[in-house]
Amino acid sequence: MIKIKLLENDTLRKDLEKIHWDWFSERAKTTCSWDKSLTYKDFIKNNIIYATATELNGLTNSQKDDLFDRRLQELIVGPDDIKQKGLNFFYRWIILNGKMQKYPKQKGVALLQDQEDYNKKIDHLKIAFGYDDFCTPKESRGWYKEFKQKYKCDWSAEIFCDKLNIDVCPYCNREYTFLAELFNGLRKRLSEIDHFFPQSIYPYFSCYLYNFIPSCLLCNHGKKEKVKGIVYPYENEFGNRAKFNVKLKNGGTISLPCDTNDVQVQLKLKGSRFVRRKIQKSDKMFCISAIYNEHKTEINDLLRRYYHYGANKSKDLYRLFNFGGIVQNGEIPKYFRDILLGIPLDVGEKQYPLRKFKEDVIEQFDETYKEMKK
């Protein structure tokens, strides 16, 4: 898993928070189709718990309205303090509102009226928060025309993903999620939006900016509803705490060349027990190691390249082609080594499919080579 570094980019973060809140607040003025006496904002206020009884005690109606406005903005773009935008923010709201799941319908069994009413309430909450309109903007709607005219911009899930500039799935790091240019000039989003905390259980998080994870189809639909204890991409990633390694299925040490059918991908973990368990749970939920084991072509290519263009051979090739002269301090330039090992050049921190896996395995072989030289 890789990190979405939005919280580390203050300029982009503030821009996205502002436009998302402007979009939401304009839409929230819309009258509910199921109750013409209420706006979406009114319906949300009447149907979620936004403060404790202690917090509300002694407040005037005007003060309660101000408190609700602040809390509603938090539910859409998070609190002002960036340090409070993490997982603890979710849990504070979950303590107040808990799970809000619809009663399941069973064949031949009618729901009680209270259950029907509760299900309608959840459906209406989802409409009021507006996620469907975020995914597919209704440009003909009066509120959206007003938003565009007032703020001189468009806003949608597609624009959000584009500005976030996440080119691969943060969960699996193996599928592209960028916007593709079509022949007719239109753009198609290759990602889906995963709700880290599922909107089917927590409808009040359905339009929260930091609950949106641009992900591939497999990760979005394969992710379970129990997310407690897995890595949250806006806060953390596997990083150096979890390194991909390859080993023989029989437990032996890999010696090149070898048959990739005998090779198994595993995660080598370090850190506290809490950290290791969180990574293990994430790996299991998204089947990361299991799926990586099926990338036989990529594994075979990487192993063969390293075998044929190992340290000594790569130096010989560098001298042969005279790329800038002699080998300095016994090392060849990184770009030349990347060429030989099939690693994209000049990408900086930009992600591409299987980047972490390839870099981790190359590091593993480098360490093995150093040990063999001792």
Residue 286 falls inside a structural domain: no
Residues 3, 286: Cα–Cα separation, whole Å: 15
Could you read off the pLDDT tens digit of each residue along the chain, which spans 374 residues?
A: 999 999 999 999 999 999 999 999 999 999 999 999 999 999 999 999 999 999 999 999 999 999 999 999 999 999 988 888 888 899 999 999 999 999 998 888 889 999 999 999 999 999 999 999 998 877 778 888 889 889 888 899 989 998 998 889 999 999 988 777 777 666 777 788 999 999 999 999 999 999 999 999 999 988 878 888 899 999 999 999 999 988 887 766 666 667 777 788 889 999 899 999 999 999 999 999 999 998 888 888 888 888 888 766 777 777 777 655 556 666 777 888 888 888 998 888 889 999 999 999 989 888 887 777 66
Structure tokens at 49: 């718990």
Residue 187 falls inside a structural domain: yes
Residues 57, 181: one domain?
yes
CA 304 and chain centroid, separation: 32
Neighbours of 220 (CB within 10 A): 17
Residue 283 falls inside a structural domain: no
Residues 64, 181: one domain?
yes
Residues 29, 143: one domain?
yes
Handedness of CA 277, 3, 213, 290 (dihedral sign): negative
Residues 31, 110: one domain?
yes
Residues 6/78, Cβ–Cβ less than 8 Å: no
> Domain span at residue 329?
246-263+291-373
pLDDT at 256: 64
Choose among 105, 106, 127, 109: nearest CA to 47: 127
What domain count does the chain have? 2
Residue 344 falls inside a structural domain: yes
Choose among 193, 213, 192, 195: nearest CA to 203: 195
Residues 125, 205: Cα–Cα separation, whole Å: 10
Say whether 212 sits in a helix, a strand or coil. strand
Tell me the H-state helices in 142-295.
Answer: 142-151, 157-164, 217-222, 273-286, 288-292
Choose among 356, 357, 366: nearest CA to 334: 366
Helix-, strand-, coil-residue percentages of the chain, each rounded to 5? 50, 10, 35
* CA dist list (Å): 27 to 147, 273, 356, 369: 8, 45, 41, 60
pLDDT at 327: 60
Residue 69 falls inside a structural domain: yes
Residues 327/301, Cβ–Cβ less than 8 Å: no
Residues 101/180, Cβ–Cβ less than 8 Å: no
Residue 110 falls inside a structural domain: yes
Say whether 313 sits in a helix, a strand or coil. helix
Residues 213, 254: one domain?
no
Structure tokens at 344: 């994209």
pLDDT at 84: 87
